[in-house]
Chains A and B, each alone.
Chain A
Amino acid sequence: MAERQPGSTDDANLVRQLAAGSESALGTLYDRYGDAIFAAAYRLTSDRGAAEEVVQETFLTLWNRAEMFDPAAGSLSAWLHTIGRNRAVDRLRAAGRRPQLVALSSPAAPDESETQALERAVAGGRVMAGAMQPPGPEEAADAAHLRDAIRIALGAMPELERMVILLAYQEELSQTEIAERLAWPLGTVKTRTRRALLRLRQALGGEFGPSPELDAVPVYTGKDR
């Protein structure tokens, strides 16, 4: 989900509606920022369950403390990301773990510079070693473009194909395990997996797309359900 520009007055209006008890405004703000908060929490914790809890706690905090948000002091995006980051670090501490060693730009809020993110990380004693040089603006934009292309292609693909690709990557299930989970024949799982992969590669194109040197591959193999 694409984020709005920092300091959006639209955000401020939604927060005011939320403070007046509008659950619809909360839902709109979730649609706007929920994915990004989850992604940032997952990058810090490498734990999808923990990232889910961070998202729930972040929006609960937004609901409980909506009056505290001051659009003149900063964007809602940065505010929510800071709350989410703190909750994620709390969880790591509680579990006796350290944050993942990630590129320094990764945990930065959308409107926070890499330098600010580095200063914050150093001040918080969370830098254990140097990480790779963060990507430049063009690389970062390219990566964001590719991620958006994947999300759009996922949203557009048939439900059954999306299901196998999510089980494969999010739950790291093998095709045999997916077949057992969904009570599908293994051949069906393989067919849908290949179709889904092809759709994603076609959406990405370029160096990630299907190899142009090879003949067109019949994606459909075997009898489908």
Chain B
Amino acid sequence: MDHNEAREQLELAAIEPGGIDRLIAGDTASAQAVVAHLAGCPECTDELARLERTSRLIGATIRELPPVDLRERTLASVRALGRPRGPSLAASVDQPAGGPVSLPSALSRDSVPEGPTARGTSGRRAAIGWVAAIAAAVVLSVATTSILVGGRVDQRLAAQSDTIHTLEEVTAATLRVTAEPDAQHVALTGRSDPNLMGSLVFSPGTSELVVVATGLSQPPAGQEYRCWVERSGTRERVGRMFFSGDLAYWIGPVSAVSGLSGGARFGVSLVDASGASLDTEPVLDGEL
């Protein structure tokens, strides 16, 4: 067996799962010939080592490449399962018709854990109560949206559909975070308005956070309700509250709660939408 014949065998073996091991084991006549060649050929032995390194690198890279049809399948799944979107629907999410909405009761005081905070109440009863509260908010928000939008039936249906979809998202995220073993529930209280209240659940492990609030009016033009987490006197911005019917909410990953084990505060402040400042008194807050 010459260099080229040995090299061909090595290349073909390098690209098969376990191929080099089988070749070196010398189970076949051609494999035995390769082994014999390698024993007396340092160049081919070096080439074997290069091939093994190369094949590992290529294999690791190729296995991390998605299949070519995943893009189309992903877009198709969004088409089939995603919330309906379009200029009118997007606008209805950001600015539900009707201006400031009459407030709440979607989450009654009975439905949130008692006391200023409820850290560690991740027991089954607390979780069920919290999820039930969200479910109640779904029903009430849909009803409110229907009343506020008024007008044509197709507009009402579109607004309801969008509201239902949004609240399904909130509910699904709540269930997912609540299922985390380290999930922590926190009751948020209004600073000056007793009707203003909220609930928050987060997982320090996954850093996902869900917050809902009732009693917030739609912010005035040019302003928004901004969520933040304060640690060691520094506030980190989280995101702005969105409104769906009576419910104000925010869902998503928050790096500031990653690994959090107390000593932090979550708040919602009314700020200028154009600015980055969070240094205003919160309208709603709670200890994490």
Contacts and interface: CB of A to CB of B under 8 A. Distances in A.
Contacts of B70: 34, 38, 52, 55-56
Contact of A21 (B71, B89, B94, B208): B89
A124 B251 contact: no
A150 interface: yes
Contact of A72 (B7, B65, B237): B237
B90 A20 contact: yes
Contacts of A60: 74, 77-78, 81-82
A122 interface: yes
B101 interface: no
B238 A151 contact: no
Contacts of B94: 67
B206 A89 contact: yes
B74 A23 contact: no
A100 B74 CA distance: 25
B64 A56 contact: no
A175 B14 CA distance: 11
Nearest to B205: A124
B109 interface: no
A147 to B, nearest CB: 5
B253 A154 contact: no
A217 B8 contact: yes
A82 interface: yes
**Interface range on chain A: under 10, 10 to 19, 20 to 34, or 35 or more?**
35 or more
Nearest to A216: B4
A78 B255 CA distance: 10
Q: Is the interface of B mostly helix, strand, loop or mixed?
A: helix
Contact of B12 (A56, A125, A146, A190): A190
A64 B237 contact: no
Given A34-B74, A48-B63, A70 B205 contact: no
A72 B66 CA distance: 30
A33 B198 CA distance: 34
A225 B16 CA distance: 22
Interface string A109-123: 000000010011011
Q: Which 8 A-B residue pairings sit nearest by Cβ, starting from the closest? A: A123-B259, A124-B205, A82-B253, A21-B85, A39-B64, A38-B66, A169-B62, A21-B86
Interface of B: 3-4, 7-8, 11-12, 14-17, 19, 43-44, 46-47, 50, 53-54, 57-59, 61-67, 70-71, 73-75, 77-79, 81-83, 85-87, 89-90, 93-94, 165, 169, 176, 182, 204-208, 236-240, 242, 250-253, 255, 258-261, 276
Interface of A: 18-21, 23, 26-27, 30-31, 34-35, 38-39, 42-43, 48, 51-52, 55-56, 59-60, 63-65, 67-70, 72-74, 78-79, 82-83, 85-86, 89-90, 116, 119-120, 122-126, 146-147, 150-151, 154, 165-166, 168-170, 172, 174-175, 190, 193-194, 197, 200-201, 204, 207-208, 211, 213-215, 217-218, 221
